[in-house]
Amino acid sequence: MKVLDFGSLNYDYVYNVDHMLLPGETQASTGMETFCGGKGLNQAMALAKAGVPVYLAGSIGEEGQLFLDICKENQVNTELLRQIPGKSGHTIIQIDKNAQNSILLFGGANRSQSREYIDEVLAHFEEGDVILLQNEINELPYICQKAYEKKMTIVLNPSPFDSALDACDMSKVSIFLLNEIEGAQIAGGSKEPEEILALMKEKFPKAQVVLTLGGDGAIYQNNETGEKVAQPCIPVQAVDTTAAGDTFTGYFIAGLLKDMPKADTMRMCAVASAIAVSRKGATASIPSVDEVEAKL
C-alpha cells in the first residue's frame, strides 16, 4: 500500500503581533520568521515523521529549492513533485499574543495543476493505495474523481472550505478530517459537535469522520459501524497553532495504516498536536514518532 499526498507547498512568512490587524490599522510586528509550510507539505511531513513512507505531489516555483531540501531531510519522496516557472505559493501569517493565527494565502504554483500532470502522478498508484487531499490546489474535483476510479482510499481535509469544494463529489471520500468550522460548513451550518457528526453520518453513511475541536479535543466517528471515540485535548502552553491540524491528520493516517485501535490512534494524535503547538513554525513544529512515543 502506497500513500500519496497531493497538495500545496507554501513559504510561510510569520509575523508576531499584539492583536490581529483591524481594517485601516498599521501595527508594528515584534518579530518575523520564514518557514516552509502549506497543508500538503505539512501533512506529508507529519506522515513521514510518524513513520509512514509518503509521496508528495504538487507544484513549486523557481525559488522552491528549499522545499526539495526539507523533504529530502525528512524522507518525503519528491519524485512526483514538479518545479515550474513563476512563484511558489506563500502565506502571510499573523500570530497574536494568545498564539492564535490569521492567514493570508497566495496560491502561486499551487494553482497550476494540469490534468495531464495529475494523470501522470496517479499512474504510479493503484487500487487500495491512499490519497490525501486538501483544498489549497486547483483541479481537486478531477483528482478526486480519477483517484476514485482507481479505487484508491480518499482522505480529505476540506481546508480551506470554500465554493471550490462544491464541484467535488464528496460521497467518494472514505475519511474526512475537519475542524469544527469546516464541519459546520460541510454539514449545513450547525456548530454543535454532535449535530455536525449526525449530519455527516446522514450525508456520508459509509465514511469515517475525525472532528477536531481545538481546546475541546477531537471525536472520531465511523458512520458505517457506529464506533465513536472522544479524545480530550492535552493541555500545553501554546506558542503557534499553525500546523496542529496537519499534525493530527498525518498521525491519524499513520495509526490507520498501522491498524491501531482508534482510541490509541486518537491519543497519539492528541499528543503529537500538543507538541506541535508548543513550538514555532509549521513543518518545523511537527514532532517525530520517537518524541510522541516518549510522551505517551
Domain ranges of the chain: 3-295
Tens digit of each residue's pLDDT, the chain (296 residues): 899 999 999 998 999 999 999 999 999 999 999 889 899 999 999 999 999 999 999 999 999 999 999 999 999 999 999 999 999 999 899 999 998 889 888 999 999 999 999 999 999 999 999 999 999 999 999 999 999 999 999 999 998 898 889 999 999 999 999 999 999 998 877 889 999 999 999 999 999 999 999 889 999 999 999 999 999 999 898 888 878 999 999 999 999 999 999 999 999 999 999 999 998 877 889 999 999 999 98
Biggest CA-to-CA distance, the chain? 53
Q: Cα separation of 289 and 96, whole Å?
A: 29
Check: CB of residue 54 under 8 Å from CB of residue 76: yes
> Phi first, then psi: what are they for 31, rounded to 5°?
180, 155
Query: What value, to the nearest 5°, has the Cα angle with vertex 37 and ends 115 and 15?
Result: 135
CATH number of 3-295: 3.40.1190.20
Look up residue 109 and give its three cell numbers: 504554483
State the CB neighbour count (10 A cutoff) for residue 97: 10
Whole-number Cα distances in Å, 112 to 121, 136, 193: 14, 11, 36
- On whether the pTM is more than 0.75, the answer is yes
